[in-house]
Amino acid sequence: MRDHDTADLLLDRLRGLTPIVEQHREAIDAERRLPAPLFGALAEAGLFRLWLPRALGGPELSPLEFMEVVEAATALDASVGWIVGNGGGASRVAGYLPETAAKRVFADPRAFLVLATGAVGRAVPTEGGYRVTGRWPYGSGIHGATGVAGLCAVAAAGQEGPAPTLMALAPIDAVAVIDTWQVSGLKGTGSCDFTLDDVFVPADHVFGYPDQHAVMPGLVYRLPVVSTFSWSVSVVPLAITRAISADVAGLMVDRMRVGTSVALRERESIQSEVGRAEAILRAARALMVEAMSALMAAVERGETALIPRRADLRLATAHAADSALRAAAMLEAAVGAVAIQEGGPLARRLRDLRAAVQHVAMSPNSFIVAGRLRLGLDAGTMRI
C-alpha cells in the first residue's frame, strides 16, 4: 500500500532540488563526494530518514515507496540516488535500538549513518558496552555523516565456537577517514574506508546483525536485515538506465546519421532497440517488486522459513543489475559515438552504472543460489 501524502511529499521535495543538483554537477565528481550544500539540502528534505520509525517522527516508508524515492533521486544524479539509498536505508537502525538511544542518534534532523558490512571489526566486551576496533571499506557518504555503524565480531575471553556479530554505532568524531575513493563511477558518493581505534560504544548503541531484534512494530524492521540492506542500493542501477533511456530519447529528437536525411528516432531499427530496452527495464523492475512483495507478505504472515523468499529477492536484484547493463548497452549502441563524449550525461551515467552493479548486493552469485534451490539443493550460503 502506498502512503500518498508521505511519499509524494518526498518526491515533490526531490523535484525541488533539481537546481541545486545542476549547480553542483561538476563539483560532485571533482570533489569525489556530494558538496556540503547539496548534502545538507538532501538532509533538510528528510531524504536520509526514509526508514526512520513513525514513532520517532520519521516517514517509515514501505520498501516499495522507498524504491520510488530512490529512483527519483537517481534520476537527478546517480551519486545522489546512491547516497539517498544508503542514508535513507541506514535510518532503519532506529528500529533495533532502545528508543532513548535511537532518539539520541537521530535527534539531529541532518543525521546520516554509514552502515558498513564490508569487513568485520572487533568488539571487546567491557563495562557498560564494548571497545571497538576495525577498518571498513565503502563508507558511502562518510564526509557528511554524523555517525557510523560497523559490523563487528564479539571477542570475549574463553569464547568457543563462531563469534556472534553485531553492529556498533559510533559518533563521527571517533572516526578516521582514509582517502581510498579513486574511481571511475559514482565518484560523488565519497565511499572511502574508515577506521575506529579502541572506541567505546555503549551497550544501547549496538544491535545484533544479521540476527536483529526489532523493537519497533513496523514491517520494514521485521524484514531480514540482509534483505533490506541489499534493497537499499539495488534499486539504483535500473533507475540509472531509465535515466539513460530518457537522455537517449532527447538526443534522438532531431539527430541524424551523416549521409542520411531521416532522424534516428524515425528508423525502425532504433525504435526496436529502444523498445526492447524498455521491456527489459520494466520486466526487471516488476520482478523486484514481485520478490519484495512476496517477502513482505511472508513476514507479515509470521512465516519463519524465509530462505526461498530471501533468495528470490537476491535473484531479482542480481537480475536487475544484469538487465540494467544489458539495456544500457543497447541504448548506447543505438545513439552512437555521442555516448562516449567526455563530460556528457550519457558517458557519466554509464560509468556510474558500471560502478553501481559491482556492489555485493547484486552479486552474480545470487544466480547460483537460485539455481541450487531450484535443483533441490540447499542455498549454499546464509548471506542472502
Average pLDDT of the chain, as a whole number = 93
The helix or strand, by DSSP H or E, that contains position 164, with its residue range, turns out to be none
Task: Give the pLDDT confidence of 288-316 residue by residue, as tens digits.
Answer: 999 999 999 999 999 988 999 999 999 99
pLDDT of residue 1: 44
Given a cut of 90, whether residue 58 has pLDDT beyond it is yes
Neighbours of 289 (CB within 10 A): 13
Given a cut of 80, whether residue 69 has pLDDT beyond it is yes
Yes or no: say if 10 and 50 are a contact pair by the CB < 8 Å rule.
yes
Report the C-alpha gap between 258 and 307 in whole angstroms: 55
CATH of domain 113-208: 2.40.110.10
pLDDT of residue 4: 60
Given a cut of 70, whether residue 257 has pLDDT beyond it is no
Given a cut of 70, whether residue 31 has pLDDT beyond it is yes
Yes or no: say if 317 and 288 are a contact pair by the CB < 8 Å rule.
yes
Given a cut of 90, whether residue 263 has pLDDT beyond it is no
Domain residue spans in the chain? Answer: 4-105, 113-208, 223-374
Report the C-alpha gap between 313 and 231 in whole angstroms: 8
Given a cut of 50, whether residue 137 has pLDDT beyond it is yes
pLDDT band at 34 (very low <50, low <70, confident <90, very high): very high
Given a cut of 90, whether residue 337 has pLDDT beyond it is no
Same CATH topology for 4-105 and 113-208: the answer is no
CATH class of 223-374: mainly alpha
Given a cut of 60, whether residue 2 has pLDDT beyond it is no
Given a cut of 80, whether residue 285 has pLDDT beyond it is yes
pLDDT of residue 341: 76
CATH architecture of 4-105: Orthogonal Bundle (1.10)
Residue percentage of the chain with pLDDT more than 90? 84
